[in-house]
């Protein structure tokens, strides 16, 4: 059976998560789903035994492979690399660390049959974020989400759990997409030539906490996000309106500070 679906997983030092992710994903896809699905890890030369782990899973019959990059690093660029290398028309991106439940992947693929783009969302009734996700991450995430509000109507553009039909990626110019940092879904949502008469799909999921390994979010990633936002605002609204937006956000920022001050003292 030919490959219709590809699951792309950016991975850096994720050896301990490779086996549970692979086995849970293919169990969730079932017999029929598994035959038409490939799983691709895009690893940035972790040299932690991830390659051997994938080879062992291949021997057990799983349609899984690993691309090892030695010349580049970064989450977003790893995802793009995987998307371009994928054989499937329907592409899903998910993290390696099981914060995105593999059991939700079939739902995302189903949604992609009728939507050009699908987002796993943590902001819907009945789902949410694990109570153990650190407070500072919640604050960063809310701030990042608020700043992206004018760019998209999607409920969770910060999500790293999303998918798209490959034809839309191939219609965009190579080099158009910002491959720096973590927020690849937001860039694709704003820049891909998605049909305006078809909404994007949203699949609610509960965001777990990492059990093995560590988050790779750093100060550099946050700075890359600010640079990406600036580029996206200009892309969408033009350079003149960026000044207006900065003015608007500055007022909002000082208003929020004032509210915080008056509620504390």
Ligand X SMILES: Nc1nc2c(ncn2[C@@H]2O[C@H](COP(=O)(O)OP(=O)(O)O[C@H]3O[C@H](CO)[C@@H](O)[C@H](O)[C@@H]3O)[C@@H](O)[C@H]2O)c(=O)[nH]1
Residue 43 binding ligand X, by CB under 6 A: yes
Give Cβ neighbours of residue 246 (< 8 Å, ≥ 6 apart): none
Binding to ligand X by residue 220, rule CB under 6 A? no
| Residue of the chain from 80, 158, 169, 177 that contacts ligand X (CB under 6 A) | 158
Give SS3 for 67.
Answer: strand
What's the sign of the alpha-carbon dihedral 194, 200, 205, 207?
positive
| DSSP of 126-149 | T--B-TTS-HHHHHHHHHHHHHTG
> Does residue 159 belong to the site contacting ligand X (CB under 6 A)?
yes
**CB atoms near residue 54 (< 10 Å):** 24
Query: Distance between CA 194 and CA 22 in Å, rounded?
Result: 30
Nearer to ligand X, 99 or 178 (CB): 99
**Between 119 and 169, whose beta carbon lies closer to ligand X?**
119
Find the binder of Mg ion among 14, 43, 97, 202 (CB under 5 A).
97
Q: Which residues contact 242 (CB under 8 A, 6 or more apart)?
A: 230, 233, 234
Residue 216 interacts with ligand X (CB under 6 A)? Answer: yes
Q: Is 44 in the site for ligand X (CB under 6 A)?
A: yes
Query: Which does residue 78 bind out of Mg ion, ligand X, none, counting CB within 5 to 8 angstroms by kind?
Result: ligand X
B/e letters for 131-168, b = 16+ CB within 10 Å, e = fewer, are eebeeeeeebbeebbebbebbbebebbbbbbbbbbbeb
Q: Tell me if 74 contacts ligand X by CB under 6 A.
A: yes
Contact of residue 10 among ligand X, Mg ion, none (CB under 5-8 Å per partner type): ligand X
Residue 259's binding partner among ligand X, Mg ion, none (Cβ under 5 to 8 angstroms by kind) is none
Q: Which of 124, 179, 217, 234 binds ligand X (CB under 6 A)?
A: 217
* Minimum distance from residue 98 beta carbon to ligand X (Å): 9
Phi and psi for 162 in degrees, rounded to 5? -160, 170
* Residue number with the smallest Cβ distance to ligand X: 160
180 binds, among ligand X, Mg ion, none (CB under 5 to 8 A by kind): none
Is residue 102 involved in binding ligand X (CB under 6 A)?
A: no
How many C-beta neighbours within 10 Å does residue 121 have? 21
**95 lines the binding site for ligand X (CB under 6 A):** yes
Residue nearest to Mg ion (CB): 97
Please state, in angstroms and rounded to a whole number, the distance separating the CA atoms of residues 233 and 239: 8
Determine contact, residues 41/109, Cβ cutoff 8 Å: no
Supply the minimum distance, in Å, between the C-beta of residue 213 and ligand X.
7
- Using CB under 6 A as the binding criterion, the count of chain residues that bind ligand X stands at 23
Residues near Mg ion (CB under 5 A) are 97, 99, 210
Residues near ligand X (CB under 6 A) are 10-12, 14, 42-44, 73-75, 78, 95-97, 99, 158-160, 182, 210, 215-217
């Amino acid at each position: 059976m030919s490959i219709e679906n590809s699951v792309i997983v950016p991975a850096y030092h994720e050896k301990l998560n490779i086996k549970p992710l692979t086995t849970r994903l293919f169990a969730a896809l079932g017999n029929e789903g598994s035959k038409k699905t490939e799983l691709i890890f895009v690893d940035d030369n972790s040299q932690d035994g991830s390659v051997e782990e994938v080879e062992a899973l291949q021997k057990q019959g799983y349609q899984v492979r690993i691309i090892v990059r030695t010349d580049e690093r970064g989450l977003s660029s790893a995802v793009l690399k995987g998307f371009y290398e994928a054989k499937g028309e329907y592409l899903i991106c998910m993290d390696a660390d099981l914060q995105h439940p593999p059991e939700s992947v079939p739902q995302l693929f189903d949604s992609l049959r009728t939507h050009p783009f699908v987002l796993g969302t943590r902001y819907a009734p009945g789902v949410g974020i694990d109570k153990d996700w650190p407070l500072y991450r919640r604050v960063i995430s809310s701030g990042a989400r608020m700043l992206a509000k004018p760019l998209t109507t999607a409920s969770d553009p910060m999500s790293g759990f999303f998918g798209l039909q490959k034809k839309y990626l191939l219609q965009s110019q190579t080099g158009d997409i910002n491959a720096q940092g973590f927020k690849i879904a937001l860039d694709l949502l704003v820049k891909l030539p998605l049909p305006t008469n078809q909404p994007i799909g949203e699949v609610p999921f509960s965001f777990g906490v990492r059990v093995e390994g560590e988050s790779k979010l750093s100060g550099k990633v946050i700075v890359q996000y600010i640079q990406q936002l600036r580029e996206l605002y200009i892309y969408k609204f033009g350079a003149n309106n960026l000044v207006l937006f900065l003015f608007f956000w500055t007022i909002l920022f000082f208003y929020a500070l004032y509210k915080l001050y008056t509620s504390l003292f």
